[in-house]
Structure 1
Amino acid sequence: MTAIRRPVNSFAKVRADHATETAEDYVEAVSDILHRQGECRVKDLADVMGVTHVTVTRIIARLQEERLVETEPYRPIRLTAKGERLAADSRRRHGIVLRFLRAIGVPPEDAQRDAEGIEHHVGEKTLECMRRFADERERESSGGAS
């Protein structure tokens, strides 16, 4: 049997991508909670993300190091300007992927679930193609084909 050869740094890239994915998910969740209820606490994030408060505390500490959030013990979590930009970009990417999946006929619940994972792994060129395809399908379905 032939061994599969991977570039030496491929696992490092996967770990880095996973860390970025986690950061994007958490800042997007913080943003959503802030918009919905005005403040975000560790318990709120734990409930939304389905993890323990210990996990949230660890991730928030890392996000603070990356200057994406600010908080103090027993105080609400706030997004920095950098965190707000990342949350907005994550939301934009999610929206495009979701629209694309719906445009190709993926059922709403499946599209929502799948978009959560895909949004983190799609390059900008692919994302732009997805956006154009979804836009074209929406124009066609509204009777404004061009």
Structure 2
Amino acid sequence: MDATPQTPHCKRLTMKEEDYLETILNVSAEKGYAKTRDVADELDLSPPSVVEMFAKLDHKKLVVYRKYEGVTLTDAGRAVAEQIKYRHDVLVEFLRLIAVPDQIAEKDACFMEHELNAATIQKIKQFVEYVGSTKSAHAELKRFTEFCK
């Protein structure tokens, strides 16, 4: 997974743009579509703010925005959104593994997913897989969790 999503019109997306793409992906997966109100509710923003970002993402060819209908991800937008979701999911899994409470793990992963290098994400993923596949590592992690209490 590349740490820096690329699009035809920009070198680097902002954290905010990445958050929108990930939210559109998640809302679409849940409801089958993503309307302005759904994304606004999910991000706790006003619909006019969401429409403004939809227009920017449409200009970058990451979404197709239709006024009053909502937004759909383009292939490029879906690729970026899936990449961000992958990073988020890996980080949440890791943070939960080290006994970070769920709500904090979600919030911290949202911040970290934008900044960590792809190589770091890959090593974290390998660590999580290793702990899950090795009895001794799992036992040590359990001891760590108890230690944290």
Tell me the residue number matched to 1:85.
Answer: 79
Structure 1 pair 144–99 and aligned structure 2 pair: CA distance change class (3 A): closer
TM-score normalised per structure 1: 0.79
- The alignment yields a C-alpha RMSD, in angstroms, of 2.4
SS in 2 for 1:71: strand
CA deviations over 1:35-81 (Å, ceiling 9, x no partner):
11122111111111101011101111110111110022212211100
How big is the shift at 1:141?
5.2
Report the AA paired with residue 28 of structure 2: L
Contact 2:57 2:63 survives alignment (8 Å):
yes
How big is the shift at 1:20?
2.1
Tell me the residue number matched to 2:114.
Answer: 120
Contact 2:130 2:137 survives alignment (8 Å):
no
Structure 1 pair 101–17 and aligned structure 2 pair: CA distance change class (3 A): farther
CA deviations over 1:106-132 (Å, ceiling 9, x no partner):
122211111111111000111111111
SS in 2 for 1:39: coil
SS in 2 for 1:128: helix
Q: Percent identity?
A: 28
Tell me the residue number matched to 2:57.
Answer: 63
Report the AA paired with residue 118 of structure 1: M
Larger Rg: 1
Structure 1 pair 108–142 and aligned structure 2 pair: CA distance change class (3 A): farther
Tell me the residue number matched to 1:11.
Answer: none
Structure 1 pair 41–95 and aligned structure 2 pair: CA distance change class (3 A): same
Tell me the residue number matched to 2:94.
Answer: 100
Pick from 37, 44, 63 the counterpart of residue 43 of structure 1.
Answer: 37
How big is the shift at 1:104?
2.1
Gaps of 5+ in 2: 1-9, 140-149
**What is the CA–CA distance in structure 2 between the aligned matches of 1:103 and 1:144, rounded to whole Å?**
10
Report the AA paired with residue 134 of structure 1: V
- Which has the higher mean CA deviation after the structures are superposed, 110-119 or 19-28? 19-28
**What is the CA–CA distance in structure 2 between the aligned matches of 1:57 and 1:46, rounded to whole Å?**
9
TM-score normalised per structure 2: 0.78
